[in-house]
Structure 1
């Protein structure tokens, strides 16, 4: 007999106090935002959203982001995701689910209003909708003529409505219907406005709370099974668990000049190459495997938090072993091995990782990297120093590469603000004053009201109103990353991390080779890991751009 997990799960508010709080909440806030979708599209030149067929049904930023993220991360048969280092990807998706449910609650009520005031009085509602559609089209083509032409059209409709109310062209029930036909949609709009205003204020409250860092965790009762037959909730929880497990993978992908996906571009590289020869007086050195040296390097790097100087240690270094597979720079998909012998879910088993490290790295096989990983600035900066050990013939090569992933785009950290406009009072043209548009405008109420009945047919809704196409290969963190080298302190942190790690690795290599009776002096003379100038003057450069 199977037992069902009835724990509350994400229904309980969660406070994230870890180092990745800020970037997680910034990304999650996009699910609750309003505003035009174009603001999000401008962040990525390779994002080409599907344009709406009718401007009246267009999706705004929060709606498009929410639906796209949920479909991409929880959809059936989806492609693997790029790991989101420095981000709690599951929490971002849970906020998208909550935002979706809040909109669905609003749309259920709006659907009733739309049916009563719009569908029952369809001729009048269509006239009003055509006027709003005309104004939406004019606003996109010629904004200066919008107010003039739109105002004229609405004036004509208002006069027509007044004529139908005062002198309907029919008698009896038909006359009564014509009297109400133009007025009922206006009454329905007023009721819909109150519903939309309450919903928007609630969404903006969630948005502001996430950006300010004082929001509760997402509330998701629908992922808590009501009984053993609640397969929908069980399936949704399973998909979220899969998402969380996928973020813990140790199989990454190298995509040309983009660097390792999820880590950012490679900004620096240092290497040590030298012959392996026995020291004087010894017939041969003790044989070793690359994993033996990698394990020693990992142990020594684990001491980075310690320092003889007070508060001089490097905070919270994370040490990992990575398997990195090559993928085309313009590839739109990544894949992970599904061999049950070498993989434990989304992670490569320890013995398989050791075998990969010891294998000959001279061909199309995946490569092993030892990683020293820092999540700084509350997740806004991810610094990674990766070390790989290679033995070809009797030559040892140890290479250290620096990768950095900068902050998410500034759009995700903006707070909700009232929409302002400037105007001049009659008789005082020399003085401009500032006013505020309503939180929910006239056009926005109509847009939400006509989209509401389509919540049960999302395919039709997306066909009419367009949707957001996410960049591939998609990672919640890496998709919206901004340049970190424009932030002086973040750039300093990335550069400063390199010197102690590289020098620590050099000292480990000398000790390890000496223990195995290798001629360390001859090894050091052939090639030096860091010449004096480079040791003190580490600087970023385009390590993955080759001029040859």
Structure 2
């Protein structure tokens, strides 16, 4: 962490929390944010694992306490991105990670309010009649265990067990071996948990409906803003809210860091694998025999390329063309392919996660061979409402008398389709009463009996989430963690996305070459060989098939 980004340093002007994502990048943001409200099984997220990283689900001791996808995702993301001892994060290009975290906070707040009401019901109808509660919980746990094998016969046995206990409870209510206080208590022990279940079901149904409305709204483009009142301090002594507010702003500051990490065959973390590489390298020879060339540095060439790339959206024809690109100087730090964590540079040359400009120039001019970080000039296009991120990275090196301009292409595809699926009503197909040969779809409640029990038994333990993690399990996020690349697909399966990635390479390459040749000419370098090499590379870049440039066949 940089010297100016510490736990006690307030590098933001106010206490406001932005609630909207970056313009033009809402699709990927809202897709990932919708996971905070989902009620599907937590194991579904394993389907979204990418070739870069894989998340995992750690099983707990009792399936009755296991979280659903929304609960596990919200808790895991909140802890990883706002926790006190969190490690460095990978930037999430093409989206706003703060919005996703805010929706996780909002979803957790909604669940806490629901669980507070469920806890009251559990205390009145369960803890006061604890033997009955434990008996009913044991039956439901046994039923879930029997039905866990996805066997219809086992599921029928679990249902028969529940029906049998219900019949036994009715018999005991009718004829009890006790009278007086214990008789009434035994009746309450049987009836109270059932009454509590009925009340809890109404609360759970209303909560599920609210969650699904938010889930659907995010994916429909409405995007309900996440309300996070606990991130706005109410007074100067409100330490918890102030810490949360600073955590959110630190997240945004790290998102805009100019340091990225190269993980070998996995490419630049957050930008995707390197699918193409083109190099122009020739000897620096004076244009006039017997006269030396003017002294210049790699930074002079990089700065000229930077200025030309800023004009990419301009063209001779009114054809739409490129949107305004993001052109930025990057410091690329090497890490291992299977590195479990990354660390951002620290020291006087770093401020608010940003390496200062003069240090970037020094790296560009002097760290071109051997150990240390490297400098790249990147031009990035965020397309398809944030679902496609195309990044072209340019590096200029001068070794002895050879100048090399290398352009590499990186592409990060859309988030997995799991996150873009909208909620569907729960229905069952049944036969009509009279015309039994005809069927009709009947809508079921959003929350069934076993889900009510699961939520009710979890509710009193929400005050201490680690205990819930121990009993029910949790979602283990992939490391080094970044919201976007952890669950991103390759763009090559989408025809138009693949076309966009391939088409961006040629204009960027030729712009970089033209700017470099101009600098060489201004400094008395013979550019004939460079020009010929540029034409050869310009022909090679038109190869229509992407490859795996980071996988060396050696």
- Is the 8 Å Cα contact of residues 192 and 449 (structure 1) preserved in structure 2? yes
Instruction: State whether structure 2 residue 177 is matched by structure 1 residue 172.
Output: no
Given the two structures, how large is their TM-score scaled by the length of structure 1? 0.95
Q: State the alpha-carbon separation in 2 of the partners of residues 274 and 135 from structure 1.
A: 73
Question: Contact between 1:270 and 1:529, CA under 8 Å: does it hold in 2?
Answer: no
1:182 and 2:179 aligned: no
Whole-angstrom CA distance in 2 between matches of 1:175 and 1:520: 102
* Equivalent residue for 1:418, pick from 411, 422, 425: 425
Say yes or no: does 1:290 pair with 2:298.
yes
Task: Out of 516-525 and 176-185, give the one that drifted further.
Answer: 516-525
Residue 76 of structure 2: which of 68, 73, 85 is its match? 68
Match of 1:489 in 2: 496
Whether the 8 Å contact between 1:262 and 1:477 is mirrored in structure 2 is yes
Distance in 1 (CA, whole Å) between partners of 2:15 and 2:372 is 44
Map of 1:194 onto structure 2: 202
Question: Aligned equivalents of 1:410 and 1:427: distance in 2?
Answer: 41
Aligned pair partner of 1:519 in 517, 521, 526:
526
- CA–CA distance in 2 between the matches of 1:286 and 1:203? 66
Note if 1:361 corresponds to 2:356: no
Spell out, residue by residue over 1:58-105, the C-alpha distance to the aligned partner (whole angstroms, 9 max, x if none): 100000000000010011111100001111111110110000000000
Alignment deviations for residues 445-494 of structure 1 (CA, whole Å, 9 cap, x no partner): 00000000001111111100000000011001111101211000111111
**Where does residue 316 of structure 2 map in the other structure?**
308
2:357 pairs with 1:350: yes
Which residue among 15, 23, 27 is the counterpart of 1:18? 23
Who is 1:375 aligned against? Answer: 382
- Contact map agreement 1:21 1:378 (CA 8 A) in 2: yes
Secondary structure in 1 matching 2:58: coil
CA-CA distance at 1:412 after TM superposition = 0.7
Equivalent position of 2:165 in the other structure: 157
Distance 1:179 1:531 in 2: 85
Deviation at 1:6, TM superposition (A): 10
Structure 1 residue 80 corresponds to structure 2 residue 88? yes
Q: Once the two structures are superposed, what CA deviation does each residue of 1:313-348 show, in whole Å capped at 9, x if it has no partner?
A: 4112010000001100000101111112x1112010
2:144 and 2:158 in contact (8 A); partners too: no
CA RMSD, aligned part only?
2.0
Which is further off, 343-352 or 516-525? 516-525
Residues 24 and 385 of structure 2 are in contact (CA less than 8 Å); yes or no, is this contact kept in structure 1?
yes
Q: 2:410 aligns with which of 403, 410, 431?
A: 403
Deviations 1:504-533 (A, max 9, x none): 1111222211111111114445x4463464
How far does residue 7 in structure 1 lie from its aligned partner after superposition? 5.7
Contact 2:15 2:245 in 1 (8 A): no
**Which of these residues, 480, 487, 491, is aligned with residue 480 of structure 1?**
487
Asked whether the equivalents of residues 118 and 459 of structure 2 are also in contact (C-alpha less than 8 Å), the reply is: yes
Aligned length: 543
Q: State the SS of the aligned residue for 1:477.
A: helix
Structure 2 residues not aligned, in runs of 5+ = 1-8
In 2: Cα distance, 1:197 partner to 1:57 partner: 18
Asked whether 1:436 is paired with 2:443, we answer: yes
